[in-house]
């Protein structure tokens, strides 16, 4: 485990016999995860802007303390904040890295509460990401958010997803409630909040003959997003054809959020594993 600097951002690099990975302290943001002898699992935009003022496009953005445009900035401030490296160590499965973020005068201007956040990455054949939110204030607060994971797939046109459940709010149609089947092949812009997902959403990455299993905990929704071509053309940090090789499957706390009394904690997690087919 080493820490290197890139464009004013510190990246924790993990090179281990079981896994290679990179975690940016800017955003508490995993940008790279590759178990030994596997293709990349996490997608990072080739046009990603590495700048302390911006969120990184790709990887696992930490959306907190709200999801989407529920507040300003969009998806909260955690993905634009500088986190601290709390610990790194090896265990029998690989490497564990933990980062922390606490409130500052600046965060309290955006969101007027005291908090302590810890994100723990357990890296090996699998990737487990646990985001623990603790209320260190003397009054209750509620939060929402997401582990907004971008997955690397061979071809969106030859990929399908299962396990999202049937009911969703369709962001492409202004958030209306819809019912669909529990198998999704993406052939246009998709931006959906599935609000009764199964515990595991599976990405069937057929050309690579693998399944990516996304097991979520502490969430109330699974968000599926692919911007498709027109939106990519409008984004400075995504190449025009980049929608072809990515899909977001997000462990999400949507809506009213989770309420924490002073001293209480809650953990949002995602466990990402591969299965050959
Ligand atoms: O999670 C889906 C979503 O909220 C989409 O609506 C889309 O805007 C995407 O996230 C990316 O948001 P960002 O703020 O990173 O551009």
What CA–CA distance (Å, rounded) separates 248 from 85?
A: 26
237 lines ligand 1 (CB under 6 A): no
What CA–CA distance (Å, rounded) separates 66 from 233?
A: 27
Task: Report CA(14)–ligand 1 centroid distance (Å).
Answer: 28
> What is the atom index within ligand 1 of the atom nearest the CA of 61?
15
Give yes or no for residue 196 having a pLDDT over 90: yes
Annotated catalytic, 244? Answer: no
- Please report which confidence band the pLDDT of residue 7 belongs to, taking 50, 70 and 90 as the band edges: confident
- ipTM score of the complex? 0.98
Which domains, ranges and CATH numbers included, belong to the chain?
2-276 (2.70.98.10)
> What is the atom index within ligand 1 of the atom nearest the CA of 225?
2
Q: How many of the other CB atoms lie within 10 Å of CB of 3?
A: 12
DSSP 8-class letter at 104: -
Answer whether 125's CB lies under 8 Å from 118's CB.
no
29, 148, 204, 254: which is the annotated catalytic residue?
Answer: 148
Annotated catalytic, 250? Answer: yes
pLDDT tens per residue, range 77-90: 999 999 999 999 99
Strands 127-135 and 29-35, bridge-based pairing:
unpaired
165 lines ligand 1 (CB under 6 A): no
Give yes or no for residue 8 having a pLDDT over 90: no
Share the mean pLDDT of the chain.
97
Model pTM score: 0.97
């Amino acid at each position: 485990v080493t820490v290197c600097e890139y464009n004013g951002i510190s990246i924790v690099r993990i090179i281990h016999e079981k896994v290679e990975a990179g975690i940016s302290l800017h955003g508490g943001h995993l940008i790279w995860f590759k178990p030994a002898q596997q293709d990349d699992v996490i997608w990072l935009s080739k046009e990603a802007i590495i700048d302390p003022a911006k969120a990184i496009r790709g990887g696992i953005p930490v959306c907190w303390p709200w999801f989407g445009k529920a507040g300003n900035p969009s998806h909260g401030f955690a993905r634009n904040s500088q986190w601290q490296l709390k610990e790194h160590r090896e265990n029998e499965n690989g490497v564990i890295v933990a980062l922390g973020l606490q409130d500052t005068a600046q965060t309290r201007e955006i969101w007027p509460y005291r908090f302590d956040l810890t994100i723990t990455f357990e890296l090996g054949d699998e990737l487990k990401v646990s985001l623990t939110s603790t209320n260190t204030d003397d009054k209750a607060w509620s939060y929402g958010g997401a582990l907004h994971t971008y997955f690397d797939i061979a071809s969106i046109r030859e990929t399908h997803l299962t396990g999202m459940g049937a009911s969703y709010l369709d962001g492409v149609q202004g958030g209306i409630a819809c019912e669909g089947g529990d198998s999704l092949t993406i052939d246009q812009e998709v931006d959906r909040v599935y609000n009764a997902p199964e515990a595991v959403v599976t990405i069937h990455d057929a050309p690579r003959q693998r399944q990516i299993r996304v097991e979520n905990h502490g969430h109330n929704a699974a968000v599926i997003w692919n911007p498709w071509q027109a939106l990519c053309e409008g984004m400075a940090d995504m190449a025009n054809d980049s929608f072809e090789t990515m899909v977001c499957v997000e462990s999400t706390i949507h809506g009213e959020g989770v309420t924490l009394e002073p001293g209480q904690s809650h953990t949002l997690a995602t466990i990402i594993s591969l299965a050959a087919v």
